[in-house]
Amino acid sequence: MVLGVMPSTMYAQSDLFGKDFASAKLLFIDHGNPNGIDSLDMTNGLEVAYRRNFGKYLSLALPMKFAQADVHNDLNKRNFFSVDALLRLQYYEPEHIIVPYLFGGAGYVFEVDGENNNQIPLGLGIDIRVGRSSYLNLQGEYRISSLENRNNM
């Protein structure tokens, strides 16, 4: 009896890995090139996110970012915190090694000692399976801001 219950419980747990995801990412942010500066000037940040799959073609991601922005014509780097809601179009199957996707959504950026602003993130990416429920993620994103000199990659 106990052996019959264990596989059932284990199957339910592995099924959850295909629906709910938590992630952490290192960010490389460039406020220079999208605003007309010739040189690449990146700053770093950290993102933590929750994602929920709604089948194999659609998911909702809720990332939070903590980073610095090197804003054009500003002497100091600006610390900021942002929250996004992203819809992700994907082709996800739990057994696939590679999961490509496109995404878009809305975000809000809170700048320390600066102006808060709305942003529209758009991008594409790929998840590469490196473990049973672990992925390496490569993502490119362009963010359109409601403030001048805040568009970024």
Residue 93 has pLDDT above 60, yes or no: yes
Confidence (pLDDT) at 38:
57
For 45-76, write each residue's pLDDT tens digit: 899 999 999 988 999 999 999 987 766 666 56
**Nearest Cα residue to 120 out of 148, 140, 139, 142:** 142
Confidence (pLDDT) at 127:
92
- What does each C-alpha distance from 123 to 12, 44, 45 come to in angstroms? 32, 18, 18
Residue 126 DSSP SS3: strand
Tokens standing for residue 145: 């801001």
From the CB of residue 29, how many other CB atoms can be counted at a distance below 10 Å? 20
Phi first, then psi: give them for residue 26, nearest 5 degrees.
Answer: -90, 130
For 94-143, write each residue's pLDDT tens digit: 788 999 999 999 999 998 877 899 999 999 999 999 988 788 999 998 98
Of residues 48 and 42, the one with the higher pLDDT is 48
